[in-house]
Amino acid sequence: MQQFRLRYRAHDIELPPGEFVIGRSEDCQLSIDDPMVSRRHAMFCVTGNSVILVDLGSRNGVAVNGDKISGERPMIDGDRITIGKHELLFCIVQPDSQRSRGFLARTLGPIELAKLESAVGGGKGPSTGTARVVASFTTLAQLADKALALGRPEDAERILNGPYAELMKEMGKGALVDTIVLGRFATYALRLATDLQKSMWIEWILEAYSLQKMLLPAPIIDELFNVAPKLKHLGQKPFFDYVNTMSESTLTANERFLLQRLEGLARHLT
């Protein structure tokens, strides 16, 4: 049986068999605090190897890949669902990461692929926590570079999804991440956001730095000014959430200026 997920604000949410309701009500499986979202806005019906998205008579409707649906719609891998100002990505989970593995096999060949899988999954090196995630990212980033150079950002995203999800999980448990390491993750996230036109990678950056209570570096903020205005469905809330978190910290005059720049950027987003 296939597995299904929603990616929302850089988090992967499992869609188990049965009904999965999204809405403003706290009784929903995914509750979104947004006045544009109805109390019971939409529902995913998961049965066997198929998923149907149903609009539950919401006031503002549900869009899939930019088109409003009427009633219900079957989901396919990669569909982008818009509810209010929020975007979710529907994913079909391929066992053993078959899709990215196929790209790696074509790029590296069987011998080098076996070495890579040993290094990332079962070889020697860090075995737990943040160190393992960073080691995996360092190895996989080289492959992502090749995918990006070949104009295949979707493959780069599939290659890097694992380390990004794992690092977010570690930070959610309180793990501290080196400034330089987090900067590397942020840099690749910006590239993915640019090439794929996906706002969730910007949201990942803001949430990661918020969890670390770390000020975004000036070069990252500069790049956000270039990337963020071009992305659809990137709202103000992730930026203001980050600004509010950082405002609680003791900041120098220069740091306050950087934070004000970010707040100014947020105010220009719709």
Domain holding 24: CATH number?
2.60.200.20
Give the pLDDT score at 96.
Answer: 43
Q: Is the pLDDT of residue 205 over 70?
A: yes
161 and 256 both lie in a single domain: yes
Please say which residue of 93, 113, 143 terminates a domain. 93
CA 243 – CA 260 distance, rounded (Å)? 8
Average pLDDT over residues 112-126: 51
CA distances 150 to 61, 102, 109, 143, 242, Å, are 38, 15, 17, 11, 34
20 and 66 both lie in a single domain: yes
180 band by pLDDT with thresholds 50, 70 and 90: very high
Q: Is the pLDDT of residue 129 over 90?
A: no
| 18: β partners | 46
The 10s digit of each residue's pLDDT in 42-83 is: 999 999 889 999 999 999 999 998 899 998 999 998 899 999
Q: Is residue 174 part of a domain?
A: yes
